[in-house]
Amino acid sequence: MALFVQVGSGSVIDSGFFNAAFVAAIRYTSSTVVTVSLMNPNTATDVVTITISSADTTYETHGIIAQTIISAAQVQKTGIVALPQSLPGNRTATIAIA
């Protein structure tokens, strides 16, 4: 099964998708970064860095992002789950995959 998490609008360079089925870990790296480690079956570990547009000192936005990813990983179907378009503090999220 492949349930992809969409980060960003899909129309800018720092937006995109990753498969929630391969999530190995989610870390709150800083007040503006959520790091998602993915274990892909045929490759080394990939790292998805989700950057939040402004500091989230309460980590509420981090929690929303993490819960969205965790929920997507638990669904046994295919499709796309998008991060909420409206994040606390009018924050936006961008993605980088390495």
**What pLDDT score was predicted for residue 47?**
87
Residue ranges of the alpha helices (H) in 1-98?
60-74
Q: What is the pLDDT of residues 69-90, one digit of tens each?
A: 888 888 767 777 888 878 999 9
Q: Would you state the structure tokens that stand for residue 89, as one six-digit string?
A: 């503090």
Confidence band for 10, pLDDT divided at 50, 70 and 90: low
Q: At residue 11, does pLDDT exceed 70?
A: no
Q: What is the pLDDT of residues 25-63, one digit of tens each?
A: 999 999 999 999 888 766 666 888 999 999 999 999 999
- Do 37 and 45 contact (CB within 8 A), yes or no? yes
- Do 7 and 17 contact (CB within 8 A), yes or no? yes
The overall average pLDDT reported for the chain is 83
Half-sphere exposure of 13 (CA within 13 A, CB side): 0
